[in-house]
């Protein structure tokens, strides 16, 4: 399950293996194009340098909100104020469209800008909260990863963004620590 706001929040990539290396993908035109294409959005690529600071600021806010919710906090008025501020930066029209026999609600920005993209990310975050997914927002338990994800398990016990990467890495590390502690005795 990939949400627009989560993909946006995860544009700050950390090396999950633990070397401390991080890459900010927001300024990369390749990431911008792939993100826009994946979510069927439009904005100028590369993003204007004047907008990159706001883009990073909003990403950091989304990550902060995710951290708060992951730690058991609740949604606050200041959080909603920050989201509403982003929503107000761009005018949007929604329209009903027929695709075959499917009816869809489509988003039509009134401008081709990153402000419109950030407004849609803010709207997607609110949709997640409104649909009851706030308690499923997680940060990967691998301290080196810091990836934001939604826990889609029935019992809400998912600890790692990916079992095959972070989950496996942490399992091996725990095994080696136990083995090392056993050898020391």
Residue 143 contacts by C-beta under 8 Å, 6 or more apart in sequence?
none
Question: What pLDDT score was predicted for residue 169?
Answer: 65
Question: What pLDDT score was predicted for residue 142?
Answer: 82
- For the stretch 78-137, pLDDT in tens is 999 999 999 998 888 888 988 888 898 887 888 889 999 999 999 999 999 999 999 899
Q: Are 4 and 121 in contact (CB under 8 A)?
A: yes
Q: Rounded to two decimals, what is the model's pTM?
A: 0.82
Q: Are 61 and 82 in contact (CB under 8 A)?
A: yes
Question: What pLDDT score was predicted for residue 1?
Answer: 39
Higher pLDDT, 178 or 77: 77
Tell me the average pLDDT of the chain.
86
Residue 161 contacts by C-beta under 8 Å, 6 or more apart in sequence?
16, 138, 140, 142, 145, 147, 149
Q: How many CB atoms lie within 10 A of CB 3?
A: 19
Question: What pLDDT score was predicted for residue 35?
Answer: 96
- For the stretch 138-167, pLDDT in tens is 998 888 888 899 998 888 888 877 777 676
Identify the weakest region by mean pLDDT among 2-11, 56-65, 132-141, 151-160. Answer: 151-160
Q: Which of 69, 152, 82 is nearest to 122 (CA)?
A: 82
Question: What pLDDT score was predicted for residue 30?
Answer: 97
Instruction: With H, G, I as helix, E, B as strand and everything else as coil, classify residue 158.
Output: coil
Assign 64 a pLDDT band (cuts: 50, 70, 90): very high
Q: What is the chain's alpha carbon radius of gyration, rounded to the nearest angstrom?
A: 19
Q: How many CB atoms lie within 10 A of CB 170?
A: 20
- For the stretch 159-182, pLDDT in tens is 877 777 676 666 666 667 776 777
| Domain covering 4-184 in this structure, CATH number | 1.10.3300.10
Q: Which of 11, 108, 10 is nearest to 66 (CA)?
A: 10
Structure tokens at 132: 């009851």
């Amino acid at each position: 399950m990939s949400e627009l706001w989560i993909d946006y929040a995860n544009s700050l990539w950390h090396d999950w293996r633990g070397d401390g290396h991080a890459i900010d993908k927001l300024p990369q035109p390749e990431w911008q194009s792939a993100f826009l294409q994946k979510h069927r959005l439009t904005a100028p690529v590369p993003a204007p340098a004047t907008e990159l600071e706001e883009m990073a600021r909003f990403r950091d806010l989304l990550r902060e909100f995710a951290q708060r919710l992951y730690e058991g906090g609740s949604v606050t008025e200041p959080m909603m104020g920050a989201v509403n501020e982003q929503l107000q930066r761009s005018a949007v029209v929604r329209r009903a469209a027929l695709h075959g026999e499917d009816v869809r609600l489509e988003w039509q920005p009134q401008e081709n800008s990153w402000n419109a993209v950030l407004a849609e990310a803010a709207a997607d975050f609110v949709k997640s909260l409104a649909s009851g997914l706030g308690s499923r927002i997680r940060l990967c338990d691998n301290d080196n990863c810091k990836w934001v994800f939604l826990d889609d398990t029935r019992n809400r016990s998912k600890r790692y963004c990916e079992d095959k990467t972070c989950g496996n890495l942490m399992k091996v590390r725990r095994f080696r620590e136990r083995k090392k502690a056993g050898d020391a005795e």
